A and B are shown apart, each in its own frame.
Chain A
Amino acid sequence: MIYDIALRIRHRYATPASLGRHLVRLMPTDRPGAQRVLNGQLDISPAPDERTERVDIFGNATTDFAYRGTLRAIALDLHVRVERLAPQAPRGASLSLCDMPQALAGIASLAPDAPVHFMAPSPFVPRDATMAAYARARVAPHMTARAAVLAVGGALHADMRYDPEATEVDTPASEAFAARHGVCQDFSHILIGCLRGIGIPAGYVSGFLRTNPPPGRPRLEGADAMHAWVRAWCGPEAGWMEFDPTNDVEAGEDHVTVARGRDYGDVSPVRGVMRGAGRQSSEHAVDVVPLGA
Chain B
Amino acid sequence: MPASALPRPGGLVAGYCPVPGIPDEMLDAQGRLRPCWAPLIDHIEGLGPRGFPAAIARGEQYLREAGVFFRTFGTTPDTARDWPFSAVPIVLPQRDWAGIAAGLIERADLLEAVIADLYGPARLVSDGLLPAALVAENPEWLRPMVGVAPRGGHYLHFVAFEIGRGPDGRWWVLGDRTQSPSGAGFALENRVAATRVFAEIYGQANVRRLAGFFRAFRDALNGLQGEAAARSGARAGILSAGPMTDTYYEQAYIARYLGLPLLEGGDLSVEDGAVMIRTVSGPVPVEVLWRRMDAHWADPLELDEASRIGTPGLMSALRAGGVTLVNALGAGVVEAQAMLAFLPGIAQALNGRPLRLPNIATWWCGQTPERDHVRAHARSMSISPALSPRLPFETDDTGLAERLRGSDADLDAWIVQSGAALVGQEVVRLSTTPAWQDGMLAARPMSIRVFLARTPQGWQVMPGGFARIGRSADTTALSLRQGSAVADVWIVADRPVGDETMLPAAPVTRARAGTGELPSRAADNLFWLGRYVERTEGLLRLSRALNARIADGGDAALRAKLADLLVSFGAAPSEPLPQAIPAALQAGVGAASRIRDRFSVDGWTALTDLEKSVSRMAAKVTAGTDAALGAGILLRKVAGFSGLVQDNMYRATGWRFLVLGRALERAATMAALLARLTDPAAPTGALDAALEIGDSTMIHRQRFAVMASRESVVDLLAFDPDNPRAIRFQLDAMAAQVARLPQPHQAQAPFAEALAATSARLQAHSPASLDPVALRALRADVLGLSDLMSDAYLR
B126 pairs with A108, CB closer than 8 A: yes
Q: Which of A257-284 contact B (CB under 8 A)?
A: 265-266, 271-273
Contacts of B147 in A (CB 8 A): 57
Interface stretch of the complex, out of B266-274, B655-663, B686-694: B266-274
What per-residue 1/0 map shows which CB atoms of B682-706 lie under 8 Å from chain A? 0000000000000000000000000
Interface stretch of the complex, out of A28-36, A74-82, A109-117, A158-166: A109-117
> Most chain-A Cβ atoms within 10 A of its Cβ — which of B133, B271, B319?
B133
B272, chain A: closest CB distance, angstroms: 6
A104, chain B: closest CB distance, angstroms: 8
Contacts of A266 in B (CB 8 A): 143
Instruction: Using CB atoms, name the residue of chain B closest to A266.
Output: B143
C-alpha spacing A64/B270, complex, angstroms: 12
Question: How many residues in A have their beta carbons less than 8 Å from beta carbons of B?
Answer: 29
Q: Is B309 an interface residue (CB 8 A)?
A: no
Q: Is B125 an interface residue (CB 8 A)?
A: yes
A52-B316, A56-B144 known; A23 vs B302 contact (CB < 8 Å): yes
Contacts of A66 in B (CB 8 A): 270, 313
Q: Is B305 an interface residue (CB 8 A)?
A: yes
A108 pairs with B125, CB closer than 8 A: yes
A114 pairs with B146, CB closer than 8 A: no
Contacts of A114 in B (CB 8 A): 132, 136
Contacts of B133 in A (CB 8 A): 104-105, 116, 119-120
What per-residue 1/0 map shows which CB atoms of B601-629 lie under 8 Å from chain A? 00000000000000000000000000000
A-B contact count (CB 8 A): 66
B306, chain A: closest CB distance, angstroms: 9
C-alpha spacing A114/B312, complex, angstroms: 29
Q: Which of B143, B300, B316 is within 8 Å of A64, CB to CB?
A: B316
C-alpha spacing A116/B136, complex, angstroms: 6
Contacts of A52 in B (CB 8 A): 316
Q: Which of A67-110 contact B (CB under 8 A)?
A: 68, 104-105, 107-110
A273 pairs with B300, CB closer than 8 A: yes
Contacts of B316 in A (CB 8 A): 52, 64
C-alpha spacing A54/B269, complex, angstroms: 21
C-alpha spacing A150/B782, complex, angstroms: 70
Contacts of A8 in B (CB 8 A): none
C-alpha spacing A64/B318, complex, angstroms: 14
C-alpha spacing A52/B312, complex, angstroms: 15
Contacts of A109 in B (CB 8 A): 122, 125-126, 132
A57-B147, A273-B312 known; A117 vs B300 contact (CB < 8 Å): no
B307, chain A: closest CB distance, angstroms: 10
A50-B272, A273-B300 known; A265 vs B125 contact (CB < 8 Å): no
Q: Is A225 an interface residue (CB 8 A)?
A: no
Q: Is B399 an interface residue (CB 8 A)?
A: no
Contacts of A117 in B (CB 8 A): 136
B301 pairs with A271, CB closer than 8 A: yes
B301 pairs with A23, CB closer than 8 A: yes
Q: Which of B132-160 contact A (CB under 8 A)?
A: 132-133, 135-137, 143-144, 146-147
A64, chain B: closest CB distance, angstroms: 6
Q: Is A9 an interface residue (CB 8 A)?
A: no
Instruction: Using CB atoms, name the residue of chain B closest to A54.
Output: B319
What per-residue 1/0 map shows which CB atoms of B146-187 lie under 8 Å from chain A? 110000000000000000000000000000000000000000
C-alpha spacing A54/B118, complex, angstroms: 21
Q: Across chains A and B, which 5 residue pairs bring their CB atoms closest together, nearest first?
A: A120-B137, A273-B312, A116-B136, A116-B132, A21-B312
Give 6 pairs: A residue, B residue, CB < 8 Å, sorted on A. Answer: A21-B301, A21-B312, A57-B143, A58-B143, A114-B136, A273-B300
Given A266-B143, A271-B301, 8 more pairs with CB closer than 8 A: A50-B271, A57-B144, A58-B143, A105-B131, A114-B132, A116-B132, A116-B133, A119-B136
